[in-house]
Chain A
Amino acid sequence: MTDLTTSTAVTVTMTVNGVEHSSELDPRTLLVDHIRTGLGLTGTHIGCDTTSCGVCTVLLDGKPIKACTMFAVMADGAEIMTVEGLKQNGELHPVQAAFKEKHGLQCGYCTPAMMLVGAALLEENDDPGDDEVRWAISGNLCRCTGYMNIVESIQEAGAQMRAGSNGVEADDMELQDEQTDADRPKEATMQEVAE
């Protein structure tokens, strides 16, 4: 039996939705718990124990990741966007408007995650096909909608962005990325297995 004594707190500074937060944290604090409990941003949800459902998705330096499978200390110095950061200058992000317009949500529990994944996808490709959207959201479960309207919502948001919707300027979503420059996602080879 390992001794479960409290460990030394670590200072963590991260920028969440454009605001810098410094906190003293037990290193075992999961990023999702820090966001929900420490920062009070409850739009990020928790749905499983096994990194499967994706309802805890946030954007880390612009990329969607599962905040349940990252310690908050690992986000030191990172830029994070949660669902609460999508709306900027009083304007809904096109993806938010489109989810309402196209009925892309029912219970709303997976919606913040789906919108963030959609927003990140549209930054790379504002005219994705059905399969491209389905591929992009395949790390995120939904139990209500059957996904069709989620796909349509993300595509509709892309159409609005292409039409120069007054939502967020593309630059606003461009979060600095100092990790690697090899991360411009290219379209995954969706070669069907075993063809």
Chain B
Amino acid sequence: MFPATYEYLRAGSIDEAVAALAEDPDETRILAGGQSLIPMMKLRFAYPERLVDINGLHELAYVRRENGHVAVGALARHADIVASDDVTGAVASAAPWVADPLVRNRGTLVGSVAHCDPEGDWNSVLLATGATVVAQGPNGRREIDITDFIVGLFENSLDEGEMVVEVRIPVPSGPSGGVYNKLERKIGDYATVGVATHLELADDGTIAAAGIGLTSVVPYATKVTEAEEMLVGQMPTEELFADAASATAAASNPHTDVRGTEKWKRNIVDVYTRRGLASALDQAHASEPTTGSTA
């Protein structure tokens, strides 16, 4: 498998990369990890005329906590997320299940997010955790809410000449938890079903915030707001989680294929949501500062 020819540019700065993008936005792609782009080029599904390699911008290889969120730079590899002590909940849970260990050493979270593959793991996790995307373009930087960023199948809302330079995942102030439950046939497989769940608790034990994101069983990564709204303000119970899981399953739109039937996939969404919410709650309880008074 041999990719077609392209023009190679090595960016010395973000500004240089953005300038190169602006010259010919339709035919220029940013090359970071390349773990999705290069396979597509090898299979000749993609023929970018020009690639801008940002692998020299080591200053973008960060995962760090600042200003109440975890900032992930455009060169942070999936393995960096796995190794980071700064990420928690659904993000920490998802990281080890992205692709395989070797791909995680190259592929980047930011690249995956920008790619908007409906079967990619990160976007549903970011939807559940309420992340923000930072884009830089000819007109400078702007923040885009992840819900506004994902607009379709392999489609994001970046303007011409913009690139994603950072993703910000909020760090909840109170007790919180989250998981990513992924059903895959084997390591390295795309999710047949992926459910990201995220819960934050108020002081009285009610649910202060909830996030549920779906992978693969929707046309593109989707946040299940109706189920989230059912949860917020309520005391967590098994029945409540079951109702939210049913609503999530109802909101999913799976198709029968070699990986499973529509009916079964919907069932998996239900089961994984229920289990995910229970795990998230366990985490939240475990993350509460122990005052010694709670039994």
Contacts and interface: CB of A to CB of B under 8 A. Distances in A.
Question: Do the two chains touch directly in the complex (Cβ atoms below 8 Å apart)?
Answer: yes
Interface string B82-106: 1111000000110011011111011
Query: Interface SS of chain B: helix, strand, loop or mixed?
Result: mixed
Interface in A1-59: 2, 4-8, 10, 26-28, 30, 33, 49-52, 54, 57
A180 B62 contact: yes
Given A4-B4, A52-B188, A64-B105, A69 B82 contact: no
Interface residues on A, range: 35 or more
A60 B106 CA distance: 10
B166 interface: no
Contact of A7 (B7, B106, B182): B7
Interface stretch (A70-78, A82-90, A93-101, A163-171): A70-78
Given A69-B39, A74-B34, A195-B275, A63 B83 contact: no
Contacts of B7: 7-8, 27
Interface residues of B, number: 57
A33 B77 CA distance: 24
Contacts, number: 146
B49 interface: yes
Nearest to B49: A2
Interface of A: 2, 4-8, 10, 26-28, 30, 33, 49-52, 54, 57, 60, 63-66, 68-71, 73-74, 76, 117, 135-140, 178-180, 182-186, 188-191, 193-195
Given A30-B2, A69-B42, 7 more contacts: A27-B7, A57-B102, A76-B10, A139-B102, A139-B187, A178-B58, A179-B58
Interface of B: 1-8, 10, 31, 34-35, 38-39, 41-43, 47, 49, 51, 53, 55, 58, 61-63, 75-77, 79-80, 82-85, 92-93, 96-97, 99-103, 105-106, 179, 181-183, 187-188, 271-272, 275-276, 279
12 contacts: A30-B42, A49-B43, A63-B105, A64-B102, A68-B42, A73-B10, A74-B34, A139-B99, A139-B187, A178-B58, A188-B96, A189-B96
